[in-house]
Chains A and B, each alone.
Chain A
Amino acid sequence: MSDCGCSCQAAPKFVFSCSGAADVGEVADQAARGVSREGAAKMFCLAGIGGRVSGIVKSTEAAQQVVAIDGCPLNCARKTLEEAGFTEFGHIQLVDLGFKKGESPATPDNIQTVMRAVSEAFSK
């Protein structure tokens, strides 16, 4: 790595969210946005991975670390990344955090719980 102070210095950390239609998808989405706002990682576009947008795919390949958040056991975010050839990434499944689809509104507490899990995943 060069020490010129430009964006060459550090590869970014990316967080992807399923951002699904259900309440748990909203929680996943808001948690990813919250983590991105706090600066721990950058939320990146899962649709760009699904659409094989070259810049999104290549930027993700160059990322230092990637974490995907899935709201429900369908694991759409994880599968989307895997279909694009990604294997090395952290995965958070909201069911594992006690969230039930249809019973988990996007409250500040719920979003914070997921944000903490994302931060822990990035610290591994």
Chain B
Amino acid sequence: MKILVMGPGCPKCEQAEKNVRDAVAEAGIAADIQKVKDFQEIAKYGVFSTPAVVIDGEVKVVGKAPSKKDVLSWLK
């Protein structure tokens, strides 16, 4: 599973990454988690505000940090 956490590194983006990492750890799954800060790269996904989380190519959330519970539901 490949997870992209998109955002330039502001507090909300950091929170999004933390919640993703916590959820992956809790789920006990293997996932490649990458941060994407480049806006050209982010825009390729049709994402125009951040933070955003993409799992295996599907954009799950845009414009807010998802909760750990949200992320866990996407990992199932």
Binding site for B on A (CB under 8 A): 2, 4-8, 10-12, 42, 44-45, 48, 53-59, 61-62
Contact = CB atoms under 8 A, between A and B. Distances in A.
Interface in B37-76: 39, 45-52, 54, 58-64
Main SS of chain A's interface residues?
loop
A10 B52 CA distance: 14
Main SS of chain B's interface residues?
loop
Interface of B: 7-13, 39, 45-52, 54, 58-64
A45 B8 contact: no
A48 B46 contact: yes
A59 to B, nearest CB: 5
A8 B49 CA distance: 6
6 contacts: A10-B49, A55-B52, A55-B62, A58-B52, A58-B60, A61-B63
B62 A59 contact: yes
A11 B3 CA distance: 23
